[in-house]
Structures are given as C-alpha cells and as structure tokens.
Amino acid sequence: MMYRVKKRDGSTAAFNIKKVASAIRKAFDACDREYTDSVIDLIALRITSDFEPKIQNSLIDVEKIQDSAEKVLSESGYADVSKAYILYRKQRENVRNITSTTFDYHSVVDNYINTGNQHNKGNTTYSVGGLILSNSASITTNYWLSEVYDEEVANAHRDGDIHIHDLNMLTGCNAGWSLKELIQQGLGGVAKQTSSAPAKHLITICNQIVNFFGIMQNEWAGAQSFSSFDTYLAPFVRMDHLSFDEVKQNMQTLIYGLNTPSRWGTISPFANICFDWTVPEDLAKRPAIVGGVEQDFTYGDCQDEMALINRAFLEVLLEGDAEGNTLAFPIPTYAITKKFDWNDANAKLLLDVTVKTGLPYFANFINGDLKQKNARSIFSGTHFNAKKLFKKTGGLFAYGENTGTIGTVSINMARLAYLAKDEEDFLKHLDKVLDISARSLSTKRQVLASLLEAGLYPYTKHYLGSFDNHFSSIGIVGMNEACMNAKWIQKGLDTEEAQNFAENVLMHVRKRLKEYQADHHELFSIEAVAAGDISHRFALKDQKEYPDMVIAMQGDTPYYTGSTELPIDGNVDLFTRLDIQNRMQEIYTGGTIFNVRLAKNEYDAKGIAILLERIMENYTIPYITLNTCNRDYPMEGYLYQEAVNER
C-alpha cells in the first residue's frame, strides 16, 4: 500500500519506514538498551500496522505515526524506551517551536492596557501591578505548555479535554501551614532576609500572620490557610489580660492587613483561617505557647479568651470596611461539633455575618468521618500507603497543617460522554485522559521539587521542607451535562440512573488514583473543584466544536455545572439536592463544598441556625456554605421556610 505522510507544515512526503526505525534506535540509545536490527525492524513493522487503520485518502498524519510508536513501545515491554521517545519527540517539537514560543511582548502589554476594567474582577485591580502579573502569567503559561509538558499533555489542555490549573505560576497550588510552628519559631529563617523572634503579644502575632500569608502567597498560586486560629491565639489574650476592645483592635489590624493588596499583582493574599470555636480535645491539656515558650497553663484554660477572639473577629466582619463594604479575607471556616451552642451570643453573631456576607464555611464534625484533629496532623503516625486515599481537611480552600495541593487538573466530563459510544467506551477514554492528567501532575511535582531544592521558594523550604505531604489533585467538571449527553442515559443528575452512573465514575477515578499512587509513590486526590472560568472555557470550546451538544446556558454564556452538582436554575428542592450530594460528596477525597442557596429576604439568623443544625444532624456532607446575597432561589427559599416551620 502506497501512502504519504502529512507533515506539521502541511507538506507531504512518501512514507519511509527507515525513518521510523531511525527514531526508535535513538530512543533505545538514550536508554542504553541493547538491541538488534531485527528487533528494531519488528517494532517498526508493528508501528506501521498500528497506524494503518488511521490512513485516510492515502494520507497519514505524522503525529499519528508518533502516537503509534509510543503505544507499541510501551505494549512491547519497552516502557523506558517509550518515555525516551516521548522526550525525544518533545525536544524536536521545542526546536521547531523556537520562533513560535518567542513572545510578542508588544501585544501582551497592549492587551492588558487596552482592555482596562475587563481585568477588574474578583480581588484583582487594574493597575501596574496587575500588568506585571499579566505579563508574567503569559510567559509562565507558555513555558509550562511549550517547554515542560509533553505534547500530549499540552494539547489535551489546549483542546479542552483537560484544564491544568495555575499555569500562570511556576509554583504549587494551595497550602496549609502550622500556626503553632510560626508561634514557636517566629517569622524568618531565610538567609539575607529580616527575621522576627517568636511573638510575645497578640498584636505581634497578628502582624506576623499578615506578613506570613503575604510572603507565602508569593511562593504559591492559590489559597493559604491556618488551622486552630482561635485556639492558638487565645493564650496571648490571657497573658496580657487584654480587654475586648483591645482584642477587637488587634483583629481589625489582622483583617485589614489581609485585605490590603500587598501580594504581587496588586491583589490580596487568598487567606483562609479555620476556627475551632471550642478547645479541641487533642489540644486541651497541652501547655499553651507564647513567645515560643510553653506556659504554666493549657489551651483548655483559654476557652473564655477564645470566645473574645471569635466575637471580635466576627464584629469586624459584620461592620465591613470604612465604607461598609464586605471584607473578603480571610475566608473563615468554623468547626461545628456536638458541643456547638446555637443559642450562644457568638453563634448568633456568626449567623448574622453569614446572612450579611455569605463568607463563613461550616465544617460538619457532627456527622461523617471528619476528625477535628486531622486539621492539624492529617498524616500523624501514618506512613505512605498506596492503597489508601487520604482525605484532605479544610473544605474547598483551606488545608490542614503542612499539607496542600501541588497541582490540580480538571477533566471535561461532558465532552467525554458526548463522544463515547457507550459506557464501556466512556471509561476507556476516561482512563486515557486520567493517564494524561496523572502524568502532567507527576511532571509538575518533579519540576517544583527540583526548584524547591534549588532555593526558588525559600520560605516554603524553611517552614515545609518538601512537598511529600501535598496532593496531586484531579477534578471533574460537568457531570450533569455528561449524563445528559451520554447516549445511554440522556438524563440529568436529578434522576436515579444518572446518579448511579456518576457514582460509578467517581469510584472508578478513585480506583485509578490508587494505581497512580503506587506507580508514582505520590499522594493523589479526587476533588470537587471550584469550576468557575474553567466550566465556561470547556463549554465555549465544545459549543464551537460540537454544536449539538447539551450545554447549560446563563443568558448568552455557556457553562457546565461544577463537579457532580445540579444546575443552579433547576427545579430540584434543597433537601433533594442534599440527598443526591450526600451520595456524591463522601466519595471525594479532596476539596468539596455544598452551597445552600437561599431566596432573598426569606431568612434570618435563627432560621439559618435551625437549617444548618438539621443538615448536619441528618447528612454526612463535610463542608457547607450559604449563599444569601446574590440571587433568588425560590424553591430552596421555600424549603428553608419549611425547615423552620417544622421546628
């Protein structure tokens, strides 16, 4: 059979099997593997046989030949040679793309300057700092996709099969830190930088926390968090016999400091703080630490001081800034245990803040398998076990002490389902995308680990040491639309059939993650990612490529629902949503959240307390937040009233 090869520039040439054999020899040589000409010739013939079904109109794309080469080498027991071939292929691509990866700096700068307020979203301000961040983001994204990741990974991202998070930063994603270590060590430990001794007063530790978050945000792309904030800071109040007004002034200093756009790019640090509310059992009998020194009283002796901190913190949030605007950071997460008193004055204040701002997250320690002590030491007394998937603590954005996420990849489930012939075909293609995602995450971990050792993240190196306890996270986007596009379902997640499929898919992903842990000896997690712009990016690409796909719309904007959530404009009531998500959210091991959306002007602090208590007593959903200020959700507003009336 005579056919021609279509090159990357569009030109064609007669197929020559000797060129395939030559490339294979180079891969064997790169691995120092012995071979004979007969072995090379046999592999070349198998490669030819593999890509022959892909020949159309006597033309075969050069990329398809190389895809077959990687596949045949791996299947023939030459996994190391296959990896060498992939690297060789990537290096050749880099040489070809030297001119195309050279940036048009003029257009990058002009694009930011000329689009003005389009950049003024979230906590980002249109400014010269924003311009610096925009320039850096463009260069770094190009570096990851053109110089670090192999072609298959980069194309999967560009084409919209996956989304690699935080490509704009040469850093890890999110991190939780030990507030106890900061209190013991002080702020410093980096050569040629100013060091501060352990704090002896509340105002000092508040300022160190602000500076710590600002510093670490320069070395990480996403959320930074501390656990047991009120527990660890209460001894400072006790030592100095501070009045409530003094505590409130210190909390105001902390909160305003964290909302100052001090992070590079003129944005605020993405700070998260977890509150215990009552002293945890594992800390109650431990000596309190102030000034880096153990005191003659315990954390359990400081419950009254904890209450002062919580009251002061909440009052500052409730008041807002000088113009009454919501103070967006830090995002607080509150531990709701069986000891939580919903009738307490501070609890009412917390609920008032929830009604006004929608900021607080609530951790369900009443039901389910969440353990409060895990927020401080998730891996305490344990060793790496590839057969076990550890669960992160802290909800969607917060993390336990000295753990976090090194990288996150989200998968476009809707497209996979649309293109699949049946469920078996879906799982086959899902496995391929999962393999690509896992490989990209392992690559990122290796790159960042080497940069950590080289000193690129000096404060992370000092306070953390390594990324061994950080997860490689895989998220899913658009499961509801996946079910609607699947030829064997064609129904949304409000149906039993779709829910069963979604649950099976999540369990399948969990199974594969255990395999990746064994292969890479790295921690993996499955996460209900905050889809945001990603869901719009996926949907926009699919709308153009596959016009007959079922895609959710909000006005003229296409989007996919996040993870295994139901559409926000659906007719499913609150408790039905809870029933469905109760099945799904237990399966995730990474970040997850259940968003209770309430109708406008149909709630008060007392009613929200009743609703939250009912949810936590009857469901194992680990983390909950309440959307009380953005838009109407009449069905859920109705169910809220029903819950209140039943009490």
Phi-psi region of 228 (alpha: psi -120 to 50; beta: other; left: phi over 0): left
Query: CB under 8 Å to 301, separation ≥6 — which residues?
Result: 238, 288
The whole-number pLDDT of residue 592 equals 83
Closest of 180, 302, 308 to residue 251, by C-alpha: 308
Percent of the chain with pLDDT over 70: 82
DSSP track, 494-558: TSHHHHHHHHHHHHHHHHHHHHHHHHH-S-EEEE----THHHHHHHHHHHHH-TTS--EEETTEE
Count of other CB atoms within 10 angstroms of residue 427: 16
Helix (H, G, I), strand (E, B) or coil at 397: coil
Closest of 478, 456, 637, 485 to residue 546, by C-alpha: 485
CA dihedral 335, 336, 338, 344 (to 10 degrees): 110
pLDDT above 70: residue 46: yes
The whole-number pLDDT of residue 632 equals 37
pLDDT above 70: residue 1: no
Q: What is the pTM of this model?
A: 0.79
Amino acid at 379: F
pLDDT above 90: residue 634: no
Instruction: For residues 436-465, give the mean pLDDT.
Output: 94
Residue of higher predicted confidence among 32 and 69: 69
Report the range of poorest mean pLDDT among 394-408, 418-432, 459-473, 534-548.
394-408
The whole-number pLDDT of residue 2 equals 73
The whole-number pLDDT of residue 95 equals 44
d(CA 453, CA 460): 10
Instruction: For residues 440-456, give the mean pLDDT.
Output: 93
Report the range of poorest mean pLDDT among 104-113, 174-183, 289-298, 595-604.
104-113
Instruction: For residues 216-245, give the mean pLDDT.
Output: 95
Helix (H, G, I), strand (E, B) or coil at 191: coil
The whole-number pLDDT of residue 99 equals 43
Query: CB under 8 Å to 394, separation ≥6 — which residues?
Result: 176, 225, 227, 272, 274, 333, 363, 375, 400, 591
In the chain, the largest separation of any two C-alpha atoms, in whole Å, equals 90
pLDDT averaged over every residue in the chain:
85
Per-residue pLDDT band at 307 (split at 50, 70, 90): very high
Residue of higher predicted confidence among 630 and 418: 418
Instruction: Specify the pairing of strand 331-336 against strand 271-275.
Output: parallel
Residue of higher predicted confidence among 557 and 645: 557
d(CA 480, CA 492): 5
Per-residue pLDDT band at 66 (split at 50, 70, 90): confident
Residue of higher predicted confidence among 375 and 58: 58
